[in-house]
Structure 1
Amino acid sequence: MPSPEEYSLFAITAPGLEPLAQAELRAMGIRAAAEPGGVAWTGGADDLYAANLRLRTASRVTALAAEFRARTFFELERHARKVPWERWVPRGGAVRLRVTSKKSKLYHEGAIAQRVLEAIEHRVGPLAAGGVVADEEGGEEQGDAQLFIVRFVRDACTIRADASGALLHLRGYRQALARAPLRETLAASMLLGSGWDGASPLLDPMCGSGTIPIEGALIARRIPPGLASPDREPRDYTFTSWPDFDVERWAKVVDRACEDILPASPVPILGSDRDDGAIEAAASNAARAGVADDVDLSVRPISAIEPPPGPGCIVINPPYGVRVGERDPLRNLYAALGRTLRAGAPGWTLALLSPDHALERQVGIPLDEAVRTSNGGIPVRLVVGQVPETS
Structure 2
Amino acid sequence: MPGPEDRHSLFAITAPGLEPLAQAELRALGIDAVVEPGGVAWTGGLDDLYAANLHLRTASRVTVLAAGFRARTFFELERHARKVPWERWIPRGGAVRLRVTSKKSKLYHEGAIAQRVLEAIEHRVGPLAGSGVVDDEEGGEDAGDAQLFIVRFVRDACTIRADASGALLHLRGYRQALARAPLRETLAAAMLLGSGWKGESPLLDPMCGSGTIPIEAALIARHIAPGLANPEREPRRYAFAAWPEFDAARWSAIVARARGEIRPAAGIRILGSDRDEGAIEAATANAARAGVSEDVDLSVRAVSAIDPPPGPGSVVINPPYGVRVGERDPLRNLYAALGRTLRARCPGWTLALLSPDRGLEGQVGIPLDEALRTSNGGIPVRLVAGRVPGEPTGDA
TM-score calculated relative to the size of structure 2: 0.96
Q: Within 1, Cα distance between the matches of 2:388 and 2:37?
A: 33
CA 218–390 in structure 1, closer or farther in 2 if over 3 Å, else same: closer
**How far did 1:20 drift?**
0.2
Gaps of at least 5 residues in structure 2 are none
- Whether the aligned pair in 1 keeps the contact of 2:205 and 2:315 (CA below 8 Å) is yes
Output the amino acid matched with 2:134.
A
State the partner residue of 1:206.
207
Q: Within 1, Cα distance between the matches of 2:134 and 2:377?
A: 21
Q: Within 2, Cα distance between the matches of 1:20 and 1:135?
A: 27
- Whether the aligned pair in 1 keeps the contact of 2:212 and 2:283 (CA below 8 Å) is yes
**How far did 1:141 drift?**
2.3
Q: Within 2, Cα distance between the matches of 1:91 and 1:379?
A: 43
Which deviations, in whole Å up to 9, do the C-alpha atoms of 1:267-302 show, x marking residues without a partner?
000000001110000000000000011000000101
Q: Residue 124 of structure 2: SS of its match in structure 1?
A: helix
RMSD after superposition: 1.3
Which deviations, in whole Å up to 9, do the C-alpha atoms of 1:30-49 show, x marking residues without a partner?
00001110000010000000
For residues 237-316 of structure 1, what are the structure 2 equivalents within 5 Å?
237-316=238-317
Q: Residue 363 of structure 1: SS of its match in structure 2?
A: coil
**How far did 1:134 drift?**
2.4
**How far did 1:176 drift?**
0.5
State the partner residue of 2:232.
231
Q: Residue 170 of structure 1: SS of its match in structure 2?
A: coil
Spell out structure 1 runs of 4+ moving beyond 6 A: none
Q: Within 2, Cα distance between the matches of 1:228 and 1:68?
A: 39
**How far did 1:390 drift?**
5.8
State the partner residue of 2:137.
137
Q: Within 2, Cα distance between the matches of 1:209 and 1:276?
A: 10
State the partner residue of 1:19.
20
- Whether the aligned pair in 2 keeps the contact of 1:343 and 1:390 (CA below 8 Å) is no
Q: Within 1, Cα distance between the matches of 2:116 and 2:155?
A: 19
Which deviations, in whole Å up to 9, do the C-alpha atoms of 1:187-217 show, x marking residues without a partner?
0000000000000000000000000000000
**How far did 1:90 drift?**
1.4
**How far did 1:87 drift?**
1.1
Output the amino acid matched with 1:137.
E
Q: Within 2, Cα distance between the matches of 1:135 and 1:75?
A: 24
Q: Within 1, Cα distance between the matches of 2:385 and 2:325?
A: 27
Q: Residue 181 of structure 1: SS of its match in structure 2?
A: coil
Output the amino acid matched with 2:67.
A
Aligned residues: 389
- Whether the aligned pair in 2 keeps the contact of 1:68 and 1:158 (CA below 8 Å) is yes
Q: Residue 363 of structure 2: SS of its match in structure 1?
A: helix
State the partner residue of 2:94.
93
Q: Within 1, Cα distance between the matches of 2:328 and 2:391?
A: 29
State the partner residue of 2:76.
75
Q: Does 1:167 align with 2:172?
A: no
Q: Within 1, Cα distance between the matches of 2:388 and 2:142?
A: 43
**How far did 1:140 drift?**
4.4
Q: Within 2, Cα distance between the matches of 1:212 and 1:258?
A: 22
Q: Does 1:38 align with 2:39?
A: yes
- Whether the aligned pair in 2 keeps the contact of 1:342 and 1:390 (CA below 8 Å) is no
